[in-house]
């Protein structure tokens, strides 16, 4: 990955202006929620799992609030482009950020970030978790996690493990597994889950940690085998696959995820109303039906619960990044 240029990112974020407001509805007084167009700035590319969740939940939130939610994809810089775009918008409750683990890992990975994450961002709600799987190519000898670990111990530093991308949640899970199992693997960062899935299907890499949605194509073609999932509970899409936690590593729980954030200064009543709308949206059967193929586990927790969860993630992942010397490269 190329080195991050903070000034360039700030300039890029400022270059695209936000949309012109239109009339708000749903009974909210202008003093509480201003007239205008709601915008969710998504830090990830269109078509990915995070974007898919944002678009489907956002569409239902539009109906609930009677005020259209526009999805604005701003990729780049480990979410800094999207983050900066939101911070440059008025703090009036019309602009929100859809982000993920970069909210808790960037401070450990990138120097000279011009803001403090805990002071700058208000957690609104965690939208969804995306369980990850440890999978091996079809001709890899291990049939279980225990056998995989035994193979890694027998030949340290010879088994390849791909994750998308460097310093992402899959990379975090791979380092945590190596630390707790006492093994050494060869890490191969990929640009995205689809790239890692293609390589495991082609037999070009021994193993990968990717989301349940990304693993489906090679799995369905019989070109890989799932050994375990990284979430604390079994994934609904693969109920027969054991978790790493139940396979000898209690408490192991490293999902990918995404959530909704507001910039500090947005009124608390607007943050609360947006969380309520998201919580209502995820109960919609059509939303769930559309998101099941993506392997998303919808959450919509309260701002307080989301903050508490983020505090735990920040502590866990910060220590992991430092101990494993994880870099953005």
Beta-strand pair 132-137/207-211: antiparallel
End-to-end Cα, the chain, rounded Å: 5
Confidence at 259, pLDDT banded by 50, 70, 90: very high
**Is residue 12 pLDDT above 80, yes or no?**
no
30-65 tens-digit pLDDT: 345 678 889 999 999 998 889 999 999 999 999 999
pTM for this structure? 0.87
Residue 243 has pLDDT above 60, yes or no: yes
Higher pLDDT, 19 or 177: 177
Q: Which of 36, 87, 126 is nearest to 264 (CA)?
A: 87
C-alpha to C-alpha distance for 81 and 55, rounded to whole angstroms: 19
Q: What value does the mean pLDDT take over residues 176-188?
A: 97
Q: Which residues contact 101 (CB under 8 A, 6 or more apart)?
A: 168, 169, 172, 256, 257, 313, 317
Give me the pLDDT at residue 35, please: 83
Write the secondary structure of the chain as one string of H (helix), E (strand) and C (coil). Answer: CCCCCHHHHHHHHHHCCCCCCCCCCCCCCCCCCCCCCEEEEECCCCCCHHHHHHHHHHHHHHHHHCCCEEEEECCCHHHHHHHHHHHCCCCCCCEEEEECCHHHHHHHHCCCCCCCHHHHEEEEEEEEEECEEEEEECCCCCCCHHHHHHHHHHCCCCCEEEECCCCCHHHHHHHHHHHHHCCCCEEEECCCHHHHHHHHHHCCCCEEEEEHHHHHHHHHCCCEEEEEECCCCCCCCCCCCCECHHHCCCCCCCCEEEEEEEECCCCHHHHHHHHHHHHHHCCCHHHHHHHHHHCCEECCCCHHHHHHHHHHHHHHHHHHHHHHCCCCC
- Predicted local confidence at residue 8, as pLDDT: 45
Structure tokens at 243: 């978790």
Residue ranges of domains in the chain, CATH in brackets: 6-130+256-324 (3.40.190.150), 132-247 (3.40.190.10)
Percent of the chain with pLDDT over 90: 84
User: Is the per-residue pLDDT at 200 higher than 50?
Assistant: yes
pLDDT at residue 32 in the model: 54
Question: Would you state the structure tokens that stand for residue 171, as one six-digit string?
Answer: 């990379």
261-315 per-position pLDDT tens digit = 999 999 999 999 999 999 999 999 999 999 988 889 999 999 999 999 999 999 9
pLDDT at 28 over 60: no
């Amino acid at each position: 990955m190329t080195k991050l240029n903070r000034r360039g990112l700030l300039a890029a974020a400022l270059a695209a202006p936000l949309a012109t407001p239109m009339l708000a509805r749903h009974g909210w007084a202008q003093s509480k929620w201003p007239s205008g167009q709601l915008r969710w700035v998504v830090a990830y590319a269109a078509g990915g799992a995070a974007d898919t969740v944002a678009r489907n939940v956002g569409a239902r939130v539009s109906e609930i609030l009677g005020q259209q939610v526009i999805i604005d994809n701003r990729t780049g810089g480990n979410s800094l482009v999207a983050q900066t775009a939101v911070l440059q918008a008025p703090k009036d409750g019309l602009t929100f950020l859809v982000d993920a683990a970069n909210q808790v890992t960037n401070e450990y990975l990138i120097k000279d970030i011009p803001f403090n994450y805990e002071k700058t961002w208000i957690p609104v709600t965690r939208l969804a978790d995306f369980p990850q799987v440890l999978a091996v190519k079809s001709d890899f000898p291990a049939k279980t996690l225990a056998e995989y670990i035994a193979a890694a111990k027998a030949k340290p530093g010879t088994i390849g493990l791909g994750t998308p991308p460097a310093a992402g949640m899959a990379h975090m899970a791979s380092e945590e597994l190596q630390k707790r199992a006492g093994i050494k693997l060869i890490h191969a960062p990929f640009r995205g889950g689809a790239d890692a899935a293609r390589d495991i299907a082609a037999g070009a890499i021994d193993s990968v940690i990717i989301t349940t949605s990304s693993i489906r194509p090679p799995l369905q073609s019989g070109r890989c085998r799932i050994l375990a999932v990284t979430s604390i509970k079994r994934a609904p899409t693969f109920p027969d696959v054991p978790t790493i936690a139940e396979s000898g590593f209690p408490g192991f729980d490293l999902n990918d995820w995404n959530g909704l954030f507001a910039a500090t200064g947005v009124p608390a009543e607007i943050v609360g109303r947006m969380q309520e709308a998201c919580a209502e949206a995820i109960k919609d059967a059509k939303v769930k039906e559309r998101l099941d193929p993506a392997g998303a586990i919808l959450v919509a927790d309260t701002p307080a619960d989301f903050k508490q969860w983020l505090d735990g993630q920040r502590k866990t992942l910060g220590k992991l990044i430092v101990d494993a010397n994880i870099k953005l490269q």
